[in-house]
Amino acid sequence: MGIDARINANIAAMGLTRPTPIQAQAIPAVVEGRDVLGLAQTGTGKTAAFGLPMLTRLIKFGKKPDPKTCRALILAPTRELATQIAQNIDAYAEGTPIRSFRVVGGASINVQTERMSRGVDVLIATPGRLIDLIERRAVDLSATTYLVLDEADQMLDIGFIHALRRIAKILPKERQTLLFSATMPKLMSELADTYLSDPVRVAVNTPGKAADKIEQGVHFVTQGDKATLLAEYLSKHPGELAMVFGRTKHGCEKLSNVLEKWGFAVAAIHGNKSQGQRERALQAFRKGETQVLVATDVAARGLDIPEVAHVYNYDLPNVPENYVHRIGRTARAGRDGRAVAFCAPAEAGELRAIEKAMKAVIPVIGGEPPAASAPSGRGPRGRGKPMDGGSKRPSRRPSRRPKTQQAKA
């Protein structure tokens, strides 16, 4: 497909021998120098789709970049996704002269400024920290000829539109731009018009569709009983990795503390954690030193940990599409996965919005749904079989906890 031989050798050693659909469609267009608008969920192989042809082109420069400059800029919405992209780029480029660098918030800006003084081939950045460095005149984008916006819809969701518009104004007009998004909201069309020139459109996933290998279920429960119910589910799968998604930073931290007191090996990731804390939590989770990772939506995209067997939506997301991103953390690399949504009475509206976005009804595996929660026109909800082979309504009291802890939870 026109990829440099050294890079091909690296990806072959990584076990990447057949292109995914997004790679098969995007790489030829990138090799031709075309702008690309890609619609694809996380986990479809986008990093290789833009990274392999990008690195092939950069190798041909044959000289070091100028101070403070970057020849390729990759923008990502979260620190975790930026870190994962950087790791993949380094793996693809091993043994070549290409050098990459990641700049994100929560890390020393002075260290980042010093590193950028020497220039880099590939700069992976979150928009906010990139703006900080531009304002310090530590980054010069005048030589950037290759631009990637990954998970662009999430960048809009978390308020980066003004930063993206500002960055667009200082980039060279003569460049190649690739924009990848899982959804295509109205504001995304404006962003695409701003950044892209006559793009090739590549779509490999139906927006809002979950992976086929994810076994889904919804368990109806009162808000106050969620922690107890989660402990029961976790106890049935000792030694298996599970991600638990909450809505707020405070709620995730509180839940992780409760689970730790109950004897679970748990870590938390959210916006109040430093970059070092988030990286240590992820590293421990990848190694299996902790089995439970409690997170906000900062971890809903980009994290590729194939061993994650279970995803629990402790709180249903306010943005329906985020449900698909969350449960996409499981059933990766061809594996099976399971996703359980806890739905309190006040979240019936969020559940209906999620099912509408997916065009599917999530089977009930526990609890009693409120009468108003059945999607209109579909009749009563179907009840799925219990995922754990037990009763459809597990007992609410784990044996490991005294009543006083239940009340506290």
| Three-class DSSP labels, the chain | CCCCHHHHHHHHHCCCCCCCHHHHHHHHHHHCCCCEEEECCCCCCHHHHHHHHHHHHHHCCCCCCCCCEEEEEEECCCHHHHHHHHHHHHHHCCCCCCCEEEECCCCCHHHHHHHHCCCEEEEEECHHHHHHHHHCCCCECCCCCEEEECCHHHHHHCCCHHHHHHHHHHCCCCCEEEEEECCCCHHHHHHHHHHCCCCEEEECCCCCCCCCCEEEEEEECCHHHHHHHHHHHHHCCCCCEEEEECCCHHHHHHHHHHHHHCCCCEEEECCCCCHHHHHHHHHHHHHCCCCEEEECHHHCCCCCCCCEEEEEECCCCCCCHHHHHHHCCCCCCCCCEEEEEEECHHHHHHHHHHHHHHCCCCCEEECCCCHHHCCCCCCCCCECCCCCCCCCCCCCCCCCCCHHHHHHC
Q: Which tokens belong to 128?
A: 């906010």
Distance from C-alpha of 165 to C-alpha of 167, rounded to nearest angstrom: 6
CATH superfamily label, 5-203: P-loop containing nucleotide triphosphate hydrolases (3.40.50.300)
- Residue position matching structure tokens 């793009």: 199
Dihedral over Cα of 369, 371, 373, 376: its sign = positive
Each residue's pLDDT tens digit, 148-194:
999 888 888 778 889 998 999 999 999 999 999 877 777 788 888 88
* Closest C-alpha among 177, 173, 184 to residue 199: 177
Distance from C-alpha of 363 to C-alpha of 4, rounded to nearest angstrom: 47
Beta bridge partners of 125: 75, 103
Burial of residue 402, with CB atoms counted within 10 A of its CB: 0-12 exposed, 13-18 middle, 19 or more buried: exposed
Distance from C-alpha of 45 to C-alpha of 2, rounded to nearest angstrom: 18
- Residue position matching structure tokens 């789709």: 49
The reported pLDDT for the residue numbered 134 is 97
Task: Give Cβ neighbours of residue 190 (< 8 Å, ≥ 6 apart).
Answer: none
Is residue 258 within 8 A of residue 227, CB to CB? The reply is yes
Distance from C-alpha of 314 to C-alpha of 227, rounded to nearest angstrom: 8
The reported pLDDT for the residue numbered 394 is 41
- Residue 240 burial (CB count, 10 A): 15
Distance from C-alpha of 348 to C-alpha of 223, rounded to nearest angstrom: 12
* Closest C-alpha among 321, 271, 329, 278 to residue 300: 329
- How far from the centroid of its chain's Cα atoms is residue 146's Cα? 23
Is residue 45 within 8 A of residue 302, CB to CB? The reply is no
- Residue position matching structure tokens 């007992």: 395
What architecture is domain 214-408?
3-Layer(aba) Sandwich (3.40)
Is residue 74 within 8 A of residue 270, CB to CB? The reply is no
**pTM confidence score:** 0.72
Distance from C-alpha of 156 to C-alpha of 334, rounded to nearest angstrom: 30
Residues of CATH 3.40.50.300 domain(s) within the chain? 5-203, 214-408
Mean pLDDT by 10 residues, the chain (409 residues): 94 91 93 92 84 94 93 94 94 96 94 97 97 97 96 84 91 95 79 90 70 87 97 95 96 96 95 86 93 90 84 94 88 83 96 92 92 48 55 42 38
Dihedral over Cα of 27, 28, 31, 36: its sign = negative
The reported pLDDT for the residue numbered 212 is 66
Each residue's pLDDT tens digit, 102-136:
999 988 999 999 999 999 999 999 999 999 999 99
